[in-house]
Structure 1
């Protein structure tokens, strides 16, 4: 057994922002933990603003984001949740990313990229071969981010009529 751990397992410092010195740590949490509350609240608000319906932030059972087939990670700056996202099993070889969010005060500083890379590491450690996600047409920054990280557009695969699906090979 290796003594090496992924950054999300150790709480290792992950990023420094360009504006001020901000040290964020990546921590593993449960969907019901206090660190996730601002994420879900703001994600709901953002979906309401962009799409007119934010109820979808509650459409997945929190147990789906737990070991042995999933996880939920957040970046924190002290007591502030900076960014986060969850990983759940889509099928035996594919993990799905859900609830990607970055605190508006911390956007455009690379935190979403950091969370996605940490989720990718988690997916690999859980034995997945692929990671997929979907995002809506009103989130051009998310579309650009996923493409910049090597995700391939796979078209709509979920329940949201105008969503774009993406997949990343982990092998």
Structure 2
């Protein structure tokens, strides 16, 4: 898989973001309502990645600065046609690498109980429960995870 940095408004990013939002509708009954400003995913404040197989956009993920040492991960997604190939893990690794390169020392995220495969990915990648934060801090379906990054 080729992974490219893309603007959050790039057509390939928009396509994958719409797909992940539809996944949330199927699993939770509605889209992710977390406030997102596309500019937050523009370097140096953030980054958005799109993964390609044979020039077809199939995976995405991004991070935005949360505080001086921390980035929040958003929109880690793999199209169903490309799942089971380790692409989410590859995008996650690149998000971690680029966050470290930016000088950040921790990644945090929100996911949900109806995404057990995502929870498993994060737990097996070294993420652990953290105090709730953000839009879904009080949601019983939300899981908040974080990881200390090492250069």
Q: How does 1:39-54 map to 2 (within 5 A)?
A: 39-54=16-31
Shift of 1:78: 3.0
Instruction: Give the total of aligned pairs.
Output: 147
User: Residues of 2 paired with 1:78 and 1:91: CA distance?
Assistant: 36
Q: Does 1:27 align with 2:4?
A: yes
Q: Does 1:83 align with 2:59?
A: yes
Shift of 1:33: 0.4
- Report the aligned-residue RMSD: 1.3
Q: How does 1:16-165 map to 2 (within 5 A)?
A: 24-56=1-33, 59-160=35-136, 161=139, 162-165=141-144
Shift of 1:56: 2.6
Higher gyration radius (CA) = 1
Which runs of 4 or more aligned residues in structure 1 lie more than 6 Å from their structure 2 counterparts after TM superposition? none
Shift of 1:92: 0.7
User: Residues of 1 paired with 2:44 and 2:149: CA distance?
Assistant: 18
- Structure with more relative contact order (C-alpha pairs < 8 Å, separation 6 or more): 2
Shift of 1:134: 1.0
Unaligned residue ranges in structure 1 (runs of 5+): 1-23
Unaligned residue ranges in structure 2 (runs of 5+): none
